[in-house]
Amino acid sequence: MKGTRIIRYGAGWLALTAAVLAVWLLGGQQNRPTAMKPAPEASPQPASSQEEITEETAVAEEREEMAGVWVPYMVLATQEHSQQAFEDNFKAIADSAKKKGLNALFVHVRAFSDAFYPSELYPWSHLLTGEQGKDPGFDPLQFMVDYTHSLGMEFHAWINPLRIRTTETPQSLSQDNPYEALRADNPYYFMEWEGAVYLNPAYPYVRTLIAKGAAEIAEKYPVDGIHFDDYFYPTEEAALDAESYELYCQTTAQPIGLLEWRTANISAMVAEVYDRVKKASPDMVFGISPQGNLENDKKMGADIAAWCSQAGYVDYICPQLYYGFENPVLSYSQALEQWNALPKHQGLKLYAGLALYKAGNSQQGEDWMGGDVISRQIEEARSMQCSGVLLYSSAYLDHPQTEMEVQNAVETLARLEENE
């Protein structure tokens, strides 16, 4: 068994190592390295040409300044688990965002390797019916996209690429969840850590599964973008994927370090997602919302520098700048300056992710009190020539804690529209 897996690994890892070296040697160039070659039936599509990228950039630049909000999976669930309850709940969320001057919703449509839409790759989300894999009898994603567009707003499909379950969510997985369907024959496709389960991006099959899942949405729905959050490798501990890394080292003459190897895996996944999404819908944008601390991102295997500087990874980056102005470790202004200073490929947009949920909460410290923290952060993002902001989350658009913050932010957003 192990010998077969070593053979399966060998050729691919040699190619991936060469690709990683190419990134370092050619880092200043626009051409992105080819990802580790998957199995023949799952070959990635070729990267977009520079001419195609330029055309896509022109389309993206026509968009108005982004004023979006994240809609996490928790707020989409209803106690009734009925179509009517789901649709009424989503309408209330979208209507509130529209009323407050927002122009885009980033909606969680795949949080646990499951789906808010009929998928050929992932089971139905348990959040729809209370049971993962159970058909709710309607297409929630189609409804959400249609309703959002009817309000004149953008709809971005938010995906968590690696997570299958946390310690308690979902309580049980359906038989067609990738974990249940594949682990008997391919246990190394998965990583388990502190009771949670994740897909292992070290393997071509897994990366292609994730990329096909993103492309499936792009092919079937008129969403405005595909969006990844900040969940990559869940820990720095070597035990997380020790067996996979050992197999790689056994099949490579000069293996790279664990963190470099993990980073190569994540970048290969991101590159393949980008390729497949662009083939499915050339004008659709793909972006990522990493943690706001660049050092933390490196530890998770997220090569932000490559994604931002080289075309073929992302159309925008939206760091989660969840810091107050007086944060002693990393302030909002310091973090924003760091992200703004990163080399960027032509057409890359920078959005600022803002922690609306912290505003007005005294437990977050005095730095988050006063009622105008978010509005001041919006104004500073504009002064740095950011292309817009995203708020986390929709649960705090109509919340007593953030009432004053939202009111001031709405006024600031209205001034943004007046200046466009």
Rounded percentage of the chain residues whose pLDDT exceeds 70: 84
Q: What is the band of 333 on the pLDDT scale with cuts at 50, 70, 90?
A: very high
For residue 235, give Cα distances in angstroms to 198, 246, 258, 259, 270.
11, 17, 12, 11, 19
Question: Angle, nearest 10°, between helix axes 258-280 and 242-250?
Answer: 90
Q: What is the band of 301 on the pLDDT scale with cuts at 50, 70, 90?
A: very high
Residue 335 in this model has a pLDDT that exceeds 90: yes
Residue 71 in this model has a pLDDT that exceeds 50: yes
What's the whole-number mean pLDDT along residues 287-314? 98
Q: What is the band of 311 on the pLDDT scale with cuts at 50, 70, 90?
A: very high
Q: What is the band of 90 on the pLDDT scale with cuts at 50, 70, 90?
A: very high
pLDDT number for residue 243 = 96
Q: Which residue has the higher pLDDT, 13 or 383?
A: 383
Angle among Cα 50, 54, 56 to the nearest 5 degrees reads 115
Chain centroid, CA 34 distance in Å:
21
Residue 305 in this model has a pLDDT that exceeds 50: yes
Rounded percentage of the chain residues whose pLDDT exceeds 90: 83
The answer to which of 49-63, 103-117, 255-269, 277-291 has the lowest mean pLDDT is: 49-63
What's the whole-number mean pLDDT along residues 41-53? 36
Residue 31 in this model has a pLDDT that exceeds 60: no
> Whole-prediction pTM value?
0.87
Q: What is the band of 139 on the pLDDT scale with cuts at 50, 70, 90?
A: very high
pLDDT number for residue 320 = 98
Residue 113 in this model has a pLDDT that exceeds 70: yes
Residue 23 in this model has a pLDDT that exceeds 70: no
Average of per-residue pLDDT values in the chain: 88
Residue 5 in this model has a pLDDT that exceeds 70: no
pLDDT number for residue 247 = 96
Residue 10 in this model has a pLDDT that exceeds 50: no
pLDDT number for residue 64 = 81
pLDDT number for residue 7 = 43
Residue 45 in this model has a pLDDT that exceeds 70: no
CB 410 within 8 A of CB 100: yes
pLDDT number for residue 416 = 59
With helix as H, strand as E and coil as C, how does the chain read? CHHHHHHHHHHHHHHHHHHHHHHHHCCCCCCCCCCCCCCHHHCCCCCCCHHHHHHHHHHHHCCCCEEEEEECHHHHCCCCCCHHHHHHHHHHHHHHHHHCCCCEEEEEEECCCCECCCCCCCCECHHHHCCCCCCCCCCHHHHHHHHHHHCCCEEEEEECCCEEECCCCCCCCCCCCHHHHHCCCCHHHEEEECCEEEECCCCHHHHHHHHHHHHHHHHHCCCCEEEECCCCCCCCCHHHHHHHHHHHHHCCCCCCCHHHHHHHHHHHHHHHHHHHHHHHCCCCEEEECCECCHHHHHHCCCCHHHHHHCCCCCCEECCECCCCCCCCCCCHHHHHHHHHHCCCCCCCEEEEEECHHHCCCHHHCHHHCCCCHHHHHHHHHHHCCCCEEEECCHHHCCCHHHHHHHHHHHHHHHHHHHHC
Q: What is the band of 35 on the pLDDT scale with cuts at 50, 70, 90?
A: very low
**Can you tell me the distance from the alpha carbon of 228 to that of 116, in angstroms, rounded to the nearest whole number?**
16
Which residues 6+ apart lie within 8 Å of 405 measured at CB?
A: 356, 359, 360, 371, 372, 373, 374, 375
The answer to which of 34-38, 106-110, 291-295 has the lowest mean pLDDT is: 34-38
Q: Measured in Å, how far apart are the chain's first and last C-alpha atoms? A: 61
Note the pLDDT tens digit of each residue in 174-231.
999 999 999 999 999 999 999 999 999 999 999 999 999 999 999 999 999 999 999 9
Residue 1 in this model has a pLDDT that exceeds 50: no
